Amino acid sequence: MTDIPGSIDPTRPQFDAFKALPRDTPIQMLNLIRLRPLADYPADHPDHGKGLTGLEAYRAYGRTSAEVFARVGGKQIWAGRPEGVLTGPIDERWDLAFIAEYPGGGALLAMVTDPAYREHVKHRTAAVEDSRLIRLAPVTPGEGFGE
């Protein structure tokens, strides 16, 4: 299990830095997710002790939060199954990778502060062992590769 601050939920400085970026231009969020073998729900959650896998809990997060995600204008624009690391730490692995697009940073902020979402995200917290959420500003690709 990871113990790096900000790898499951943002730290206050990370969240403040995100909020300081423009809120009214389209953004994309690269999501890299490593799941727990077994979901880790708190004792007071209805799914505590049910033996759900991390994948089952993450799927519950996707199902339950889909309405809020759509309501703020979010859409998933790419998804892939990580198969291996070519460059980077050789022991690093990710179970899920996808890019979510929002009409602006304000939309993502509206989602994560929505009372219903704040309940649904408990599935994500129980499911995820480690993650990276990287904000991207869409650009028009250049003529060369990787620019």
- pLDDT value for 144: 82
- pLDDT value for 7: 87
- pLDDT value for 142: 85
Contact criterion met (CB below 8 Å) for 115 and 121: no
The candidate with the shortest Cα–Cα distance to 30, out of 74, 79, 65, 66, is: 79
10-residue mean pLDDT profile of the chain (147 residues): values are: 73 94 96 97 97 98 98 97 91 95 97 97 97 94 81
Please tell me the CATH code under which domain 22-136 is placed: 3.30.70.100
* CA pair distance 48, 61, nearest whole angstrom: 15
- Longest CA–CA span in the chain (Å) reads 54
- pLDDT value for 4: 74
* CA pair distance 111, 117, nearest whole angstrom: 7
- pLDDT value for 107: 98
Residue 127, Cβ density class (10 Å: 0-12 exposed, 13-18 middle, ≥19 buried) = buried
- pLDDT value for 2: 52
- pLDDT value for 3: 57
